[in-house]
Structure 1
Amino acid sequence: MKDLYHPAEPSLFTGRESANRAYLHENIRTVDLRSESTPPTGKVPALFGYACDEGVRRNLGRPGAAEGPRAFRRGLGKLPWLQEAPDGLADAGDIRLDTDRLESAQQAFSEGIAQLLRSGYFPIGIGGGHDIAFAHYKGVRTYLPTGRKLGIVNFDAHFDLRSPGDAPHSGSPFFQIARTCEQEGFGFHYACIGVRRDANPQVLWDRAKELSVLTVAREELLGSALQASLKKLKTFLKRVDAVYLTIDLDGFSSAYAPGVSAASPMGYSPWEMMPLLDAVLGCGKLVSMDLAELNPAFDTDGQTAALAGSLVHRVLHYPGLF
């Protein structure tokens, strides 16, 4: 991990000054993963960047997400720090890839996630391509006791169940996880929320069915279908012991998230997915999360970075999570 690890840059967090730490940038503390640190008191969230878009390039998407972690931090610091917030937010720095060694970046990120969890933090990964998910899963699985069932909830337009072939990429993380689960004797418990019929070929729908993926299609977030979708997700959450949450920002409509690797106007709105997100946040089993595909090269007026920041702000202030 050491050759790809870059410590946190506090200067990225800026905003208004206050007398009572009223803004997020005034509540940041750094954690250096290269050295032993004092464990936090209670459950403290920790940002951890995955500055890598080699997986996006391999998957024929738009490069630029490697700058996502820095763009995210620049927007996040300005947000208010409210009464429900935890006792501070840690920043554990980034894994940055300057070559095409995607697998090395995934291994380093995995090690960092496991280290943060062992130290008592709640990791919030910031991508980078959605290949962050395979790395993040490996870190969480390393940390959890062998007998615990790990559920994965993915808000996304895509299943990301493509075969990796000889070169894993941003479209293959959950197929890689399924294969790893089979090899290591773990169950594969995967829910994909907001997946679109115009964004996945038939082979991926078939593969999702074969792997018993809980699928909530884009149209099932609307109207009378929402309650049935909530019920399915809550049943899924009850059947696992721990939950890893991942949010691919390309699941949102490009009206809200233009700065992603694969933008589309047909995605969902933030408020359409919020009831299901809140179900995950409130399940009592969430151990780690990330956001993926923030691509500032295409982010008109910083809208996508603002969306990502608002989502994390909601997580930080969710009652009882910290």
Structure 2
Amino acid sequence: MSNYKLGSKNNWIGRTSDEQLYLNEKIQFSSIKNPLSNSQNKTIAILGYSSDEGVRRNSGRIGAALGPDAIRKQLGKMPNHLNKETQLIDFGNLECNDDDLEILQKDLSNAVAFLLENNNIPIILGGSHDLAYGHYKGLLKHIPENKTIGIINFDAHFDFRPNNNGNSSGTPFYQIATDHEAKNESIKYMALGIRKDANTKNLFEFAESHKAHYLEQKYFCMTYLEHVELRLMQFTEDVDYLYTTIDLDGFSSAYAPGVSASSPMGFSPDIVLKSLKLILESGKLLGLDVVELNPNYDVDEQTAKLAASLLHYVIHKL
């Protein structure tokens, strides 16, 4: 069993009012072991995946374990436009115990399935991108067997690396693809922002052989907005549910310097917000996460603020 820590009010700071004008006033706290009794009202569940073991295994920069709390500290300062009936609950953090990443992924899977069963919309804060495997498996447990989940990955990397030497931040979608392959199914996957200077030819070949959809970074921009929207709509129409994962290292380091693998050659927030709008309007979103924030390398908390702003947009559009 991985370590589990309850959420802390210390991570939700900011201005206060008498009208819950800020999210630090709106937030509630609960345990995945003994949750708050949930009404039929919409509940947004925040859960942290406080681990960078997958980044370490993938030879990246350590520090993403600090990401979930750094996002909370920026999100709490932001205005609250949620209605009174909508609950926003912090369920704390799952942490890697004894470098056992595989157990952590399993525990996240169980936690996500539990949150969905209790009428929560899971928003997972990372942490390294290996959380995607646990998150997806948890979503899969919740849906009927004859339904499909489409994965939309905002990322510079496919994360299709083989896991022959263990799971890592580079393997989650390879794991998902091979799980489906074992059942004679195909992965429903779209990556937005892929860069040729960040993926080997073997990864492109794997994507092609598994009929993965992707847009290279040079086309994932506002100049090609109509094309991006068309590709997204076509993908969305072909699945029953959507799992969306936002890897902050896909953004240019001009916007996101504090990540596990930074590059100036990434995408910008405007095209991501346009894409998220389409995803949310589909009504098919089942779970979302933001990953790879590394506060050790952040500048003026810019990357944490970017992550918080993206989540602020999502939770108010759900």
Please indicate, yes or no, whether the TM-score normalized by the shorter chain is above 0.5: yes
Contact residue 134 and residue 177 of structure 1 kept, 8 A: yes
Q: Distance in 1 between matches of 2:269 and 2:194?
A: 14
Contact residue 86 and residue 317 of structure 1 kept, 8 A: no
Contact residue 128 and residue 292 of structure 2 kept, 8 A: yes
Give the 5 Å matches for 1:34-45: 34-45=33-44
Give the 5 Å matches for 1:22-61: 22-61=21-60
Residue number in structure 1 paired with 2:247: 248
Residue number in structure 2 paired with 1:288: 287
Letter in 2 for 1:241: D
Q: Deviations over 1:169-194 (max 9, x none)?
A: 00010000001112245431000011
Residue number in structure 2 paired with 1:213: 212
Letter in 2 for 1:216: L
CA shift at 1:292, angstroms? 0.5
Contact residue 245 and residue 289 of structure 1 kept, 8 A: yes
CA shift at 1:229, angstroms? 2.0
CA shift at 1:269, angstroms? 1.0
CA shift at 1:109, angstroms? 0.9
Contact residue 160 and residue 171 of structure 1 kept, 8 A: yes
Matched, 1:118 2:117: yes
Q: Distance in 2 between matches of 1:172 and 1:230?
A: 27
Residue number in structure 1 paired with 2:256: 257
Letter in 2 for 1:200: N
Give the 5 Å matches for 1:101-140: 101-140=100-139
Residue number in structure 1 paired with 2:314: 315
Q: Deviations over 1:247-300 (max 9, x none)?
A: 000000101111100000000110132221211111110011101101111111
Q: Measured at CA, do residues 316 and 200 of structure 1 come closer, stay the same or move farther in structure 2, by a change above 3 Å? A: same
TM (norm. structure 2) is 0.96
Letter in 2 for 1:112: A
Identity score, percent: 42
CA shift at 1:225, angstroms? 2.7
Matched, 1:178 2:189: no
Give the 5 Å matches for 1:134-213: 134-213=133-212
Residue number in structure 1 paired with 2:297: 298
Question: Could you say what secondary structure the match of 2:198 adopts?
Answer: coil
Question: Could you say what secondary structure the match of 1:301 adopts?
Answer: coil
Letter in 1 for 2:190: A
Q: Deviations over 1:117-139 (max 9, x none)?
A: 11000000001000010010111
Q: Structure 2: where are the runs of 5+ without partners? A: none
Q: Deviations over 1:232-254 (max 9, x none)?
A: 11011011001111000000010
Question: Could you say what secondary structure the match of 2:92 adopts?
Answer: strand
TM (norm. structure 1) is 0.95
Q: Distance in 1 between matches of 2:52 and 2:128?
A: 5
Residue number in structure 2 paired with 1:78: 77
Question: Could you say what secondary structure the match of 2:192 adopts?
Answer: strand
Q: Distance in 1 between matches of 2:84 and 2:135?
A: 24
Matched, 1:10 2:31: no
Contact residue 40 and residue 121 of structure 1 kept, 8 A: no
Contact residue 84 and residue 317 of structure 1 kept, 8 A: no
Q: Distance in 1 between matches of 2:131 and 2:295?
A: 17
Q: Distance in 1 between matches of 2:291 and 2:299?
A: 17
CA shift at 1:28, angstroms? 0.5
CA shift at 1:4, angstroms? 1.7
Letter in 2 for 1:34: K
Q: Deviations over 1:198-222 (max 9, x none)?
A: 1111111111111111111111123
Q: How many residues align?
A: 318
Q: Distance in 2 between matches of 1:64 and 1:82?
A: 32
Question: Could you say what secondary structure the match of 1:240 adopts?
Answer: coil
Letter in 2 for 1:48: L
Moved more, 27-36 or 206-215: 27-36
Q: Deviations over 1:103-151 (max 9, x none)?
A: 1111111111110011000000001000010010111111111111111
Contact residue 273 and residue 310 of structure 2 kept, 8 A: no
Q: Distance in 2 between matches of 1:9 and 1:196?
A: 38
Moved more, 214-223 or 127-136: 214-223
Q: Distance in 2 between matches of 1:222 and 1:18?
A: 39
